[in-house]
Amino acid sequence: MLNKLFKDPTDDIFLQLFRYVFVGGTAFIVDFFFLYFFSDICGIYYLISAILSFIISVLVNYLMSTKWVFNQNNIENKVFEFNMFILISTIGLGFTEILLYLFTDIFGIYYLISKIISAIIVLFWNFLARRVMFYGKNFIK
């Protein structure tokens, strides 16, 4: 069972979602840490910090997602693959920035709590977009 969850290649949407949440959790921890670091330690405005932390975390997410979640070790055009990944992630960043602003500046929620809420919402966009648009998988298989 552990091999099926963590090791064996799969096209099963539920196993991929499980793995994606695991990978996303790792990338989120990196993102959250650097958001805090840039904002509270370095004194950078939180929306700018969110962009900087995104750049770092998307690299972590890319490496783990392509090799483990979606089993894309044999993609021939790595430049195209990376550019598509960045495009989808950048759209997700746009959603994140809008949600952070709404939750923090409009609703008055602490920016780190806003980050958690927005990350949960954007996770579904990123997963479905990468599965359907980038990796060419059906929505449900």
pLDDT single digits (tens) 35-79: 999 999 999 999 999 999 999 998 888 888 776 766 655 556 678
Tell me the mean pLDDT in the region 100-111.
97
85 or 41: whose pLDDT is higher? 41
Distance separating alpha carbons of residues 33 and 30, to the nearest angstrom:
5
Side-chain-side CA neighbours of 91 within 13 Å: the count stands at: 14
Tell me the mean pLDDT in the region 19-26.
83
In the prediction, which pLDDT does 69 show?
A: 63
Q: What is the pTM of this model?
A: 0.76
Pair of tokens at residue 71: 């089993």
* Environment class of 43 (CB within 10 Å of its CB; exposed 0-12, middle 13-18, buried 19+): exposed
Confidence bin at 117 (pLDDT 50/70/90): very high
